[in-house]
Structure 1
Amino acid sequence: MIEQLNRRAFLGRSALLGCSLAASPLLTPLSLAATPGDNRLVVILLRGGMDGLDVVRPYGDPAYAALRGDAGLKDDGGAVDLDGYFALHPALRPLLPLWDQGQLGFAHAVSTPYRDKRSHFDGQDLLEAGITDSAGGLPRDGWLNRVLQHLPNSSAQSAYGIGQEQLAVLTGPAPVQRWSPTSDLVLSPQAIRLAELIMKEDPAFDTAFRQALSIADGDGDPVAVTASDKKKAALVNANRATKKDGNLEQQIARFAGKRLREDTRIASFSINGWDTHQRQDVSLAKALERLAQTILTLQATVGGPVWNKTTVVAVTEFGRTAKINGTNGTDHGTGGLMVMAGGGLRGGRVIGDWPGLEEAQLYDRRDLMPTRDVRSVLGWLLHSQYGLPASTLETSIFPGMEMGSDMGLLR
């Protein structure tokens, strides 16, 4: 399971130490786990419902221009053609070198089995649980944690965790580390020594406390330690130095990338800001810029050899309406888009069975019609990366899912 400190008990002990913890330490948690083998997987949850029709625009579909009031492809530095039918949102232009190298791809018209109510909460619950519906309640573990349960010798890098929430996709019996770039632990040398004396009687707290010191990030002076603790100080101060610049997503990507260079094999985190009911031209561009920076930071941090064994996949709870609304935005929809990147990807493609955008071809005559379960795309990635059998993926990892034909996602 994801082992956690009891926050109330920890804060109670911290008060004795004069310890300062940053408020809201887990605005966007990062979860990590170590598994056997060399392949790496990064799952990014795009919370809010990303509009796939704007990210990868089907300008070759005659109905697109009428729905969006835009041809989707411009010669003024706007969207860029990908394959003669689809065009890429201009905010993702920094990723074009990956597309040209076959290290970026998209799965269009995909969705979880969730339909009709279009609630963020329900949609995200089903996406992270990996199930068909929640009529019988949600499982106690997320689909990514179930993957870990089926991989031999998987183990957590650490048992450190502190904060108010955790990613449901990785929740479950398999051990997983949690970390946040906004966690801030500031202790004086005397407080560190006193904490060690108090916590040595509780092995779980003692271990977690030492790990907290090695991961903690702060804006103040370097943690003061004794000569025997120089290695611990180096870890603390190195983490601080590497996270002083860049936005939150870049900090997370940098931290994840460094761990992926070592023993970590799976990482998952979320990026918010995809609920674009108004002025989508502004808000979506900003969110896509952060996504592009995240992917490129991951690539740069892990380095070439590890990048060639890494697959990044970004998924969202549902797509948006096919037609632009009266406030130049889009409302909650159904069919959406999945973004994939990595050195081992067979990219340079927009994958999927395109359903068309004529009114009769839309789901409920309003949304992009899903033609493939997003879980089947994830299933083929997991099959290729970790050798998980289709039977396991269809019954244990994603209950009720049908794999369908092999999409040949990886090299």
Structure 2
Amino acid sequence: MDRRNFLIGGTALGCSAAASPFVTPVAMAAAPWDTRLVVVILRGAMDGLDVIQPYGDPALAGLRPSLLTGEAGGAIDLDGFYALNPLFSSLMPLWRAGQFGAAHAVSTPYRDKRSHFDGQDILEAGIPDLDNGGLRDGWLNRMLQVVPGLEAEVAFAIGREQMLVLSGQAPASRWSPDARLQISPNARALLNVVHHDDPLFRDASEDAIEIAEQISMQGELAEETEMMMANSPMMEAVQGSGEHIEIAEFAASRLRGDTRIASFSINGWDTHARQRNTMQRGASALTDTILTLRAGLGPVWNKTAVLCVTEFGRTAHENGSLGTDHGTGGAMLFAGGALRGGQVLGQWPGLGEGDLYDGRDLLPTRDVRAYAAWVMHDLMGLQRDVLEQAVFPGLELGANPGLVL
């Protein structure tokens, strides 16, 4: 075991060991590109038909008589066919600026079983199915594996949970809002005494302490981020507070430095009953997160792509509990100054009785992995064959949707 791998292994312990000086999850590293990618996993299966409402489809009103917000309910027309759920109205300035949009009728290759756990595994692993032992690493980690010259801290999985999407052979760092990288002079002296006769632990401790001190010296970056957020009109629309704001603020401050990839989750999108209430909570967390990223990134926002993906969509019909059940096709939301927003991408399959998948779900017309792959192709320069074979095995990219500016 070398000291470098010892430190990397320490970061994988997460917030449970946050008080240890061995946990160094916010050290920086450079990458051979200047653009940024943020992947947000929306756990629980976001209802894309509710967020991006295809009110131009005549079948929608009959499928969702209670859920459809429509014009009277405040839904915001986007392009004459799609409307934005009013709970997401704070993102309209980004839509008008061409920095927020969606891709509809998308899904992973996952079909029919509709399990959150399996669906999330396939989404994060980026593979066609869970057979043949394919669940070893995540697609963001495989992307890191094929790019030469990267160091461990180029990517961050942010939050308390272990994220498959960044797990794998390529080292990636983790950070939790609970992490505190502080060590008192007395604790440092104690470590020196305890580890003095063990070169591995002594040298690892010294390296970890040095990194922690470097991080504390980077307070100017965090302070600058907070100042930018305070002065940004985007923050006026942020309604909530809490961990998701901390996560977005941390991600923004790191991405304004040397970090190039960040990934985290927003939970709470399972809307079997009283969907409007659940959707309100999810919408608040997601809109606050995107607006905080926009404010905290400052000019780096123009180099940034934010992809918000979920394990599957929900049924086209509302159920008897004023909610929706697990479905298939859904929507991907995206934001960032590096992307061509102000549009809803995708081939619309229709919601008529003969158009639905299995007679109940929105029919997927494109693999959501293809959108992510084309973003990496155009944003980071990864080759098509690498994306189709190494990053997303079995994927056919199809035509370039032109998502990246």
| TM-score (ref. length: structure 1) | 0.83
Residue pair 1:56, 1:87 contacting (<8 A) in 2 also:
yes
Residue pair 1:68, 1:323 contacting (<8 A) in 2 also:
yes
Residue pair 2:28, 2:258 contacting (<8 A) in 1 also:
no
Match for residue 227 of structure 1? none
Report the AA paired with residue 89 of structure 1: N
- SS at 1:303's partner residue? helix
- SS at 2:376's partner residue? helix
The 1:276/1:356 distance shift into structure 2, 3 A limit, reads same
Distance in 1 between residues matched to 2:374 and 2:143, nearest whole Å: 13
Check if 1:39 corresponds to 2:35. yes
Pairing of 1:3-82 with structure 2 (within 5 A): 3-5=8-10, 34-69=30-65, 71-75=68-72, 78-82=74-78
The 1:48/1:211 distance shift into structure 2, 3 A limit, reads farther
Question: How many matched pairs?
Answer: 380
Report the AA paired with residue 71 of structure 2: K
Check if 1:381 corresponds to 2:371. no
Residue pair 2:48, 2:313 contacting (<8 A) in 1 also:
yes
- 1:3 Cα deviation (Å)? 2.4
Pairing of 1:80-91 with structure 2 (within 5 A): 80-91=76-87
- SS at 1:339's partner residue? strand
Match for residue 290 of structure 2? 295
Residue pair 1:65, 1:72 contacting (<8 A) in 2 also:
no
- 1:390 Cα deviation (Å)? 1.0
Pairing of 1:1-400 with structure 2 (within 5 A): 3-5=8-10, 34-69=30-65, 71-75=68-72, 78-157=74-153, 165-184=161-180, 188-199=184-195, 201=199, 202=201, 203-211=203-211, 232=217, 246-304=241-299, 306-400=300-394
- 1:156 Cα deviation (Å)? 2.5
- 1:194 Cα deviation (Å)? 1.2
Report the AA paired with residue 69 of structure 1: P
Residue pair 1:129, 1:141 contacting (<8 A) in 2 also:
yes
Report the AA paired with residue 343 of structure 2: R
- SS at 1:5's partner residue? helix
The 1:162/1:3 distance shift into structure 2, 3 A limit, reads farther
Residue pair 1:3, 1:160 contacting (<8 A) in 2 also:
no
The 1:33/1:365 distance shift into structure 2, 3 A limit, reads farther
- 1:233 Cα deviation (Å)? 9.5
- 1:161 Cα deviation (Å)? 9.7
Distance in 1 between residues matched to 2:204 and 2:386, nearest whole Å: 34
The 1:34/1:165 distance shift into structure 2, 3 A limit, reads farther
Return 5+ residue gaps in structure 2 as ranges: 230-239
Residue pair 1:4, 1:160 contacting (<8 A) in 2 also:
no
Distance in 1 between residues matched to 2:59 and 2:157, nearest whole Å: 49
Residue pair 1:214, 1:236 contacting (<8 A) in 2 also:
no
Distance in 2 between residues matched to 1:7 and 1:341, nearest whole Å: 29
- 1:63 Cα deviation (Å)? 0.6
Residue pair 1:345, 1:409 contacting (<8 A) in 2 also:
yes
- 1:186 Cα deviation (Å)? 6.5
Distance in 2 between residues matched to 1:233 and 1:401, nearest whole Å: 41
Report the AA paired with residue 208 of structure 2: A
Report the AA paired with residue 349 of structure 1: Q
Residue pair 2:109, 2:367 contacting (<8 A) in 1 also:
yes
Distance in 1 between residues matched to 2:100 and 2:144, nearest whole Å: 26
- SS at 1:308's partner residue? helix
Cα RMSD for the two superposed structures: 3.3
| TM-score (ref. length: structure 2) | 0.85
- 1:127 Cα deviation (Å)? 0.6
Residue pair 2:141, 2:165 contacting (<8 A) in 1 also:
yes
For residues 168-218 of structure 1, the C-alpha deviation after alignment (integer angstroms, 9 at most, x for no partner) is: 101112221211112246755422331344346413344335545666xxx
Distance in 2 between residues matched to 1:214 and 1:235, nearest whole Å: 11
Residue pair 2:27, 2:211 contacting (<8 A) in 1 also:
no
The 1:196/1:232 distance shift into structure 2, 3 A limit, reads farther
For residues 52-78 of structure 1, the C-alpha deviation after alignment (integer angstroms, 9 at most, x for no partner) is: 0000001110110011105542245x2
For residues 275-314 of structure 1, the C-alpha deviation after alignment (integer angstroms, 9 at most, x for no partner) is: 111111011111011101111111111102x111100000
- 1:20 Cα deviation (Å)? 6.0
Return 5+ residue gaps in structure 1 as ranges: 216-230
The 1:163/1:293 distance shift into structure 2, 3 A limit, reads closer
The 1:118/1:205 distance shift into structure 2, 3 A limit, reads farther
Report the AA paired with residue 321 of structure 1: T
The 1:291/1:232 distance shift into structure 2, 3 A limit, reads same
The 1:364/1:234 distance shift into structure 2, 3 A limit, reads closer
